[in-house]
Amino acid sequence: MGLLNIFSRRKAAEQEIIDMAGNRESFTGNENESYWTIVKKQFKKNKIAVWSLRIVYVFVFIALLADFLANEKPIAAKYQGEVYFPVFKEYAVDLGISDWQKEFINVSWKDLDYEWEVWPLTPYLPKNIDFMNTSVGPFDEQDIESTRWKHWLGTDALGRDVFAGMIHGTRIALLVGIVSMGIAALIGIFFGAIAGYYGDDKLKMRISTLVIYIIGFIVALFYGFGVRSYALSDSIGESFSDFFLELLISFFIFGAIMYAFKLISKGLKKLPFLTKEVVVPADILISRLIEVVVSIPRLFLIISIAAVVAKPSIFIVMMIIGLTTWTGIARFTRAELLRVRNLEYIEAANALGYKELRIIIKHALPNALSPVLISIAFGIASAILIESTLSFIGVGVPAETITWGSLLSASRQDSTAWWLAIFPGFAIFITVTVYNLIGEGLTDAMNPKLKK
């Protein structure tokens, strides 16, 4: 296998590499399907998994349209001769494009005299308090004007609508799953890829480069996060978007400084001293880090951090869950890349002189993605479970945020309210089961033994 030959056909070789990696781009031949097509086919054969996926779609649908399903404002209404769309209007006001008309500021939407109106499925927000109906069950007689105002799943001890809480809770549950697993996947894939691809022998550096990188890392940490610690902690108190912005600025500073030091290290390569190459045992270092994180009891850690945070917020809970659950993903990625890195197509890519970053992202990682996907599916289930546990025992999630867990915990005080125990618990159960089933389905679909 002449390497020179490969050099001469760079483009063609690249295609070959991608095919060898079993990437999405499939052969033109009809017999050889790409890996993902096979996975999809296998997954579709699993009826239970497919149905689980459909249930997730329904949850996503509910979460996206929560404002239209449960809201104190009508979706559309004709009021004093004009037609309004208050729910849409609220989005505009939140975005800062528009302002409420005078007549709608501080009004009780329920009591306005509409000519006609279209109400959401349940005309309440989770926070709305109905003094006339506290702790009423779905089948109890409710003190309401018409069935329009019925509390379909009852109310809690304060008179808040359970159905509305369930709908808006869906949004929080799904968000917790997605955001925390997104964070976990980023960290996990990053560390896993480095540990797996470089192993203990491949990451070679000059001593000068290594020293420069270590100094650069400390400096970048100092200017990116150390100096800005007050800006960051102040913004947590403000809002999530402020915090996110500050965090982005911090990461940008961090990256810029690291890049500057990279340029310095390149310049230093011309110098004659400190040229000896050392091997950085990336795998040992990262495996040790994973071991440390894994050996900390997760629930204990999350509860201690959540209790320490000055201003509890659901986003902080998501971040903590993400920051503590990346180890599973990192382990899978590492194991897959350790396997892949010695395969011929990676060697070929190396021989072609591609940059390592490109090899890792474009050639090695796509192959490692399948176990990561499985791990994410299970991870979402456990993240939702952790969040509902936290709100059930009342740690970390602010009291005014209504989640499935907090609804369920309300049933402990209110011993007659069976509806507070059944509905939220069932919702948690279904969501967790469905994500677990999808994880199972993916595992089966990707198991090479089943592939014919």
Partner 1 sequence: MFKYIVKRLLIFIPTLFAISLLTFVISINAPGDPVETMLNQNVGGDGMSGEKLANEQTYIDKRHELGFDLPLFYFSFTNATFPDTLHRIPKKAHRENLQRMSYEYGEWNNVSAYYHSLRAFEDEIFTIEINDKTSSDLRKIKDAISVLYINYDSDKTESTIQNIEFDLFKNKKIKKYGAKKYYDFLNAYTHMNLYKSSTNRYIPKLVWYGLENQYHRWIWAFVQGDFGISFKDKRPVSSKVFDALKWSMILSVLSIIMAYLVAIPLGVRSAVDKGKWSEKLITTGLFLLYSLPNFWVATMLIRYLGDGNGIGWFPTFGLGSLPATAPYWDRFFETGYHLVLPLFCLTYASFAFISRQMRGGMLNVLEMDYIRTARAKGLKEKVVIWKHAFRNSLIPIITLFASIFPLAISGSFVIEIIFSIPGMGKLTLEAIFARDYPIVFTVLMFTAMLTLVGNLVADVLYAYVDPRISFSNKK
Work out whether strand 204-206 and strand 277-279 pair parallel, antiparallel, or are unpaired. antiparallel
Of 342 and 415, nearer to partner 1 (C-beta) is 415
Q: Which of 105, 310, 357, 399 binds partner 1 (CB under 8 A)?
A: 310
3-state secondary structure (DSSP) of residue 1:
coil
Q: Report if residue 303 touches partner 1, rule: CB under 8 A.
A: yes
- Find the binding residues for partner 1 in span 271-290 (CB under 8 A): 288
Contact call for residue 298 and partner 1 (CB under 8 A): yes
**Pairs from 236-245 (Cβ < 8 Å, separation ≥ 24):** 236/309, 236/310, 236/311, 236/313, 236/316, 237/310, 237/311, 240/313, 240/315, 243/315
Q: How far apart are CA 57 and CA 254, in angstroms?
A: 38
In this structure, the number of other CB atoms found within 10 A of the CB of residue 207 comes to 13
The distance from CA 423 to its chain's CA centroid, rounded to whole angstroms, is 25
CA distance 304 to 433: 27
Choices 2-10, 88-96, 191-199, 420-428 (CB under 8 A): range interacting with partner 1: 420-428
Q: Sketch the per residue contact string, 134 through 163, with partner 1: x for CB under 8 A, - otherwise.
A: ------------------------------
Task: Provide, rounded to whole angstroms, the least separation between the CB of residue 274 and partner 1.
Answer: 23
Residue range at the interface with partner 1 (CB under 8 A); choices 121-129, 142-150, 349-357, 431-439: 431-439
Q: Is 411 in the site for partner 1 (CB under 8 A)?
A: yes
CB 387 within 8 A of CB 317: yes
Of the two residues 149 and 423, which places its CB atom closer to partner 1 in the complex? 423
Least Å distance between CB 187 and partner 1? Answer: 16
Burial 387-423 (b: 16+ CB within 10 A, else e): bbbbbbeebbbeeebbbbbbbbbbbeeeeebebbbeb
DSSP secondary structure of 272-317? SSS--EEE--HHHHHHHHHHHHHHS-HHHHHHHHHHH-SS--HHHH
The one among 307, 351, 361, 450 contacting partner 1 by CB under 8 A: 307
Contact call for residue 410 and partner 1 (CB under 8 A): no
In the list 132, 263, 279, 292, the residue contacting partner 1 (rule: CB under 8 A) is: 292
Binders of partner 1 in range 184-213 (CB under 8 A): none
Interface contacts to partner 1, rule CB under 8 A: 218-219, 222-223, 226-227, 230, 288, 291-292, 294-301, 303-305, 307-308, 310, 381, 385, 388-389, 392-393, 395, 408, 411-412, 415-416, 418, 421-422, 425, 428-429, 432-433, 436-437, 440
